[in-house]
């Protein structure tokens, strides 16, 4: 069918819809609306399937938004629907379930070994055998995916982070053990970045002046990602913020027979003060000189986050992440509104520690704080949340 007919047919349909809503809509707007939202506007042409959604027209979406009610008090009493639990359940707009949670776990050496992390009360590093036990608990609680981070033995850390390429490193052993025990009962997401393996705590290779080199680092990250995929990783999650790493990793995965392995890109990752306890957990805090501001994003920026997301999607990311979480819910919403893709948020270690500190200080109820913050991510548009509270929250939700 000629393109002009299609546009005309769509135009007629949307002129009717607009008329029903009492709106006047110019033809150019009709075209924008027609291409704006796949779910709401299936193709009017039989057999044509859906119009391809593009996401550059939020303004058109806004124009077509349902109108707010005109009723005034007392005809309008918004408390009516809030009066009882059953009614609140009926009008609830957002839902949180264990399926929305990804549980980050830290892996350490040895066996039967649990190491507490002082700045993350309630979170431990687990040796591989105990890691598998945690994975079984996650499955029982309905959590679909784990994220692994290694605490590399000190004598295995080096200037170039070569341990990241060792097929027998902690990360690979952890992935393989979980996959062997549980197969596809749970997904395993692996972190790609060099900071758990370098003697300087940076996420990449550094030059003499301490600057993190981009292209040289990407080459190593590709090797690291393949190493993890060979061990059985289901989702490769680059958290390093080098330019061009998603495309390079995607190409390598395809070439090596890992076309089915997903990439969840830490696309909008900010240089944040909320990562401190995590660096204790992977043992990089004391090693890190300086900061990560030459590669992680400036917390002042949001347009730049959209450019990062656009680039990573164009390079083949299956899903994207915003990190940290709660202070960046505006970014989660902006990404969701601008790109019709799965968006994840990472409620990072410092956020976890703040909730625990607040609960310990009697400033709020722990369970309520956990569930409210996780729900807030969903309301902001997140498909899911990485949270150290995941197991606890999943059990609360399942109870
Ligand atoms: C490093 C990495 C960090 C986190 C995940 N991957 C820390 C950093 O960038 O320094 C932080 C997670 C958290 O704080 O919970 N590649």
Q: For 297-352, how does the pLDDT look when each residue is reduced to its tens digit (9 = 90+)?
A: 999 999 999 999 999 999 999 999 999 999 999 999 999 999 999 999 999 999 99
Q: Mean pLDDT across the stretch 274-286?
A: 94
Question: 71: pLDDT confidence band, cut at 50, 70 and 90?
Answer: confident
pLDDT tops 80 at residue 7: no
> Quick one: pLDDT at residue 17?
46
Using the CB atoms, write b or e for 209-219: b if 16+ within 10 Å. eeebebeebbe
292 has catalytic annotation: no
pLDDT at 24 over 60: no
Task: Please name the CATH architecture into which domain 98-398 falls.
Answer: Alpha-Beta Barrel (3.20)
The predicted structure's pLDDT at residue 46: 43
Q: Does residue 48 have a pLDDT over 60?
A: no
Q: What are 100-127's pLDDT values in tens digits? A: 999 999 999 999 999 999 999 999 999 9
H-assigned helices in the chain: 3-20, 27-34, 58-63, 85-91, 128-141, 170-182, 214-231, 245-255, 276-282, 303-314, 329-338, 349-360, 366-379, 390-398
Nearest atom, ligand 1, residue 348 CA: 15
pTM of the predicted model as reported, rounded to 2 decimal places: 0.85
Count of residues making up the chain: 399
pLDDT of residue 168: 98
Task: Give the residues surrounding ligand 1 with Cβ less than 6 Å away.
Answer: 191, 193, 195, 203, 239-240, 275, 278-279, 292, 348-349
Distance in angstroms (rounded) separating the CA atoms of residues 33 and 56: 11
Residue 359's pLDDT band, with cuts at 50, 70 and 90, is very high
Listed in order, the ranges of the chain carrying CATH 3.20.20.70 are 98-398
Average pLDDT over residues 205-216: 97
Summarize pLDDT for 231-263 with one digit per residue, the tens.
Answer: 999 999 999 999 999 999 999 999 999 999 999
Atom of ligand 1 nearest to the CA of 352: 15
Q: How far apart are CA 60 and CA 23, in angstroms?
A: 13
What distance in angstroms lies between residue 374's CA and the mean position of ligand 1's atoms?
19
Q: Average the pLDDT over 16-26 and give the result.
A: 44
Residue 69 gets which letter from DSSP? Answer: P
Q: Which residue has the higher pLDDT, 36 or 94?
A: 94
Show the CA angle centred on residue 270, arms to residues 150 and 263, nearest 5°: 55
């Amino acid at each position: 069918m000629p393109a002009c007919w299609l546009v005309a047919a769509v135009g007629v349909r949307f002129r009717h819809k607009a008329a029903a809503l009492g709106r006047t809509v110019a033809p150019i707007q009709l075209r924008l609306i027609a291409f704006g939202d796949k779910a709401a506007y299936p193709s009017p042409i039989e057999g044509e399937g859906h119009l391809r959604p593009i996401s550059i027209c939020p303004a058109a979406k806004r124009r077509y938004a349902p109108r707010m009610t005109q009723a005034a008090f007392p005809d309008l009493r918004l408390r009516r629907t809030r009066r009882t639990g059953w009614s609140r359940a009926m009008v609830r707009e957002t839902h949180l379930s264990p399926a929305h949670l990804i549980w980050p776990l830290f892996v350490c050496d040895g066996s039967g070994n649990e190491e507490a992390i002082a700045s993350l009360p309630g979170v431990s590093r687990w040796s591989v055998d105990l890691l598998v036990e945690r994975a079984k608990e996650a499955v029982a609680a309905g959590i679909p995916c784990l994220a692994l981070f290694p605490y590399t033995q000190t004598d295995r850390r080096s200037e170039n982070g070569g341990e990241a390429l060792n097929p027998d490193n902690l990360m690979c052993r952890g992935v393989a053990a979980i996959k062997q025990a549980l197969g596809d009962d749970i997904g395993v997401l692996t972190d790609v970045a060099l900071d758990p393996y370098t003697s300087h705590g940076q996420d990449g290779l550094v030059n003499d002046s301490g600057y993190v080199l981009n292209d040289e680092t990407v080459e190593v990250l590709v090797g690291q990602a393949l190493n993890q995929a060979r061990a059985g990783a289901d989702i490769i999650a680059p958290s390093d913020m080098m330019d061009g790493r998603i495309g390079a990793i995607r190409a390598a995965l395809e070439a090596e027979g890992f076309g089915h392995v997903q990439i969840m890109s830490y696309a909008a990752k900010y240089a944040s003060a909320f990562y401190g306890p995590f660096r204790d957990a992977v043992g990089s805090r004391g090693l890190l000189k300086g900061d990560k501001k030459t590669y992680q994003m400036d917390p002042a920026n949001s347009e730049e986050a959209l450019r990062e997301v656009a680039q990573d999607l164009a390079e083949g990311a299956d899903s994207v992440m915003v990190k940290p979480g709660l202070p960046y819910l505006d970014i989660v919403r902006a990404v969701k509104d601008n790109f019709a893709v799965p968006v994840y948020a990472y409620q990072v270690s410092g956020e976890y520690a703040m909730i625990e500190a607040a609960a310990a200080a009697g400033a709020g109820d722990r369970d309520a704080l956990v569930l409210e913050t996780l729900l807030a991510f969903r309301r902001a548009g997140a498909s899911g949340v990485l949270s150290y509270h995941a197991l606890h929250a999943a059990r609360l939700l399942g109870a």
